[in-house]
Structure 1
Amino acid sequence: MTTIIKAKELIIKGEENILELPENLKEQVSIYWNEQKRQHPGMFNGPVYSVLDMENNNGEITLECALSDYANYKYSEIHDLGEFACRNLYAGCLLKSCEGKYIVALNGAGSEFTGKIQFIGGAMDPEDKDDVTGKLDPLITAMRELEEEAGKEIRNSIKNVGETYLITNGRKYGIGTVLQSSMSADELTTALGRFKDSTHNNEIDNLVAFGKENKDELENYVNRQDIGVVEFLKEAL
């Protein structure tokens, strides 16, 4: 079951904590990860945050986290590790074009989720912190991932930051922020093409635009989505 919460306030705590695994689990995760790398050489085991606990007080959300890694997250997807499971915290954006369409990414061959739609984003990095507060900031993650996956031209087209939502299925926690672009849906698609041609980055195959006139097309992606994308768009439209 997917839960979508509009965040009035979002507090991330415990980012200095480490999710330590018992030695036997470390060994099992390592064996599994080495097998995954042989099958998918492009996979990278970087740091990710795990959500240990969540409190929601009428939209005022507090996430208690600890630092883990992507190998543990992937292993946790297929094994019940209880308190040692990595419940990945990631952040991203839902682009909104100048004509009011919502834009999501269709994953390309460079992604392990090829063919699925998702918000443009990725795991929150320990470096994604506000310079003033020193706290993790999901908007910094979203902007960084937007530039890395879709290019500086699209990143620089953002003129307004909208509402933020928490989307979770209990195993994965996504913080999605609506970012208003000055470009149209067609212009965003063209800009992505220029970025891909110049960098050969193929994490995103294409951008998919949804407006009220094609809301019914969301049904085609029910089984081809990251958590909550279709459900969110149905509500938004």
Structure 2
Amino acid sequence: MLSNSIYSMLPKYKFIYEERNVELPNYLNREIKDNWNELINSGKKYTNGELYTISSIKFENDNCLIFRILKTDYAHYLYIVKQDFQGEYICRSIATSALFITNDNYYVLGKMSSDTSLPGNIKFIGGAISKEDFIENELHPIEGIKREVKEEIGLDLDDKSKVESVNSSYFITIKNLSFINICFKIKLNLSSKEIIKLFDEHNENLYNQNMEQELDSIVLVKNDRENLNNFFTDNKGITMDYLEELFLVEMGINEARNFSDEDNLR
């Protein structure tokens, strides 16, 4: 069975920044602003920072898949979430994530903190890309995952004493290709106990410096089918939708899709 949202990694792909903002009609800007104000007035502690959106996905020269990028903001993204990723002016956000496996065969996930958009939800370590992840006008996803892992759990992916290998492995998407997440499979030279210790020390350091803690805790899942099935049964409703989809591919139950088979790239 083909996965709904997991795509195989391609040998050739690029993310090209067009160096301009997305243009939205006035009525939509007003609706986005109203939605943002409602969220803030309800007590949400969001920051409306810049965000990047994919304007087109097409195979171009030498069968290279090109993702073209424009700039928008978090308010636009939250509005599109409310609209269930429908409409002409969809915000197709870009992120990177880490599929960690410890040297004692545990997957490493994170539980989101109370001040995030999905408090208590369980996700892969990782997050949205940032301007630091670009070299000139090209996004380099590896820079994004290095930054996110350092920020969220305090691990330096260039530290070979702790990290055995880092390989881009999947594209994760959601409805209408409205989200593109480059997933890196990362093998650790650390045990499950050691990664928890590293995270706890990192979060304590963030707390002492009065800095934002994106994750409340590390979640470990033993790498076997029974434990993965039990994990998703026990945590139904608080895991990101694409999480189970990816593990179904990892377990060989589902098959990753191929962008080359799609006829709706735009």
* TM-score, normalisation: structure 2: 0.78
Q: 1:179 aligns with which of 172, 178, 186?
A: 186
- CA distance, structure 2, for counterparts of residue 122 and residue 153 of structure 1: 16
The secondary structure found in structure 2 opposite 1:20 is coil
Cα distance 1:95–1:155, how it changes in 2: closer, same or farther (>3 A)? farther
Aligned-residue CA RMSD (Å): 2.5
| 1:85 aligned partner | 90
Amino acid at match of 1:151: G
Amino acid at match of 1:144: R
| 1:115 aligned partner | 120
- CA distance, structure 1, for counterparts of residue 104 and residue 239 of structure 2: 24
- CA distance, structure 2, for counterparts of residue 191 and residue 6 of structure 1: 31
Within 5 Å, give how 1:152-163 maps onto structure 2. 152=155, 156=159, 157-163=162-168
The reply on whether 1:69 has 2:73 as its aligned counterpart is yes
- CA distance, structure 2, for counterparts of residue 126 and residue 55 of structure 1: 23
Task: Structure 1: give runs of 5+ residues left out of the alignment.
Answer: none
Amino acid at match of 1:65: I
The reply on whether 1:128 has 2:128 as its aligned counterpart is no
- CA distance, structure 1, for counterparts of residue 59 and residue 218 of structure 2: 32
| 2:45 aligned partner | 42
Q: How many residues align?
A: 234
The secondary structure found in structure 2 opposite 1:83 is coil
| 2:8 aligned partner | 6
The secondary structure found in structure 1 opposite 2:131 is coil
Q: 1:139 aligns with which of 134, 139, 142?
A: 142
Per-residue deviation, residues 40-66 of structure 1 (Å, max 9, x unmatched): 442111111212333479x96432322
Is the contact between residue 6 and residue 163 of structure 1 (CA under 8 Å) also seen in structure 2?
no
| 2:264 aligned partner | none
Task: Structure 2: give runs of 5+ residues left out of the alignment.
Answer: 252-266
- CA distance, structure 2, for counterparts of residue 99 and residue 204 of structure 1: 23
| 1:235 aligned partner | 249
- CA distance, structure 2, for counterparts of residue 203 and residue 56 of structure 1: 35
Is the contact between residue 222 and residue 230 of structure 1 (CA under 8 Å) also seen in structure 2?
no
The reply on whether 1:203 has 2:214 as its aligned counterpart is yes
* TM-score, normalisation: structure 1: 0.87
Cα distance 1:15–1:226, how it changes in 2: closer, same or farther (>3 A)? farther
- CA distance, structure 2, for counterparts of residue 94 and residue 129 of structure 1: 22
The reply on whether 1:219 has 2:239 as its aligned counterpart is no
| 2:255 aligned partner | none
Cα distance 1:220–1:2, how it changes in 2: closer, same or farther (>3 A)? farther
The secondary structure found in structure 1 opposite 2:180 is strand
Q: CA deviation at 1:28?
A: 1.8
| 1:97 aligned partner | 102
Percent of aligned positions with the same letter in both sequences? Answer: 23
- CA distance, structure 1, for counterparts of residue 28 and residue 142 of structure 2: 33
Is the contact between residue 167 and residue 227 of structure 1 (CA under 8 Å) also seen in structure 2?
no
Higher relative contact order (CA 8 A, sep 6+): 2
Q: CA deviation at 1:7?
A: 1.0
- CA distance, structure 2, for counterparts of residue 146 and residue 161 of structure 1: 12
Q: CA deviation at 1:87?
A: 1.6
Larger Rg: 2
| 2:262 aligned partner | none
Is the contact between residue 17 and residue 138 of structure 2 (CA under 8 Å) also seen in structure 1?
no
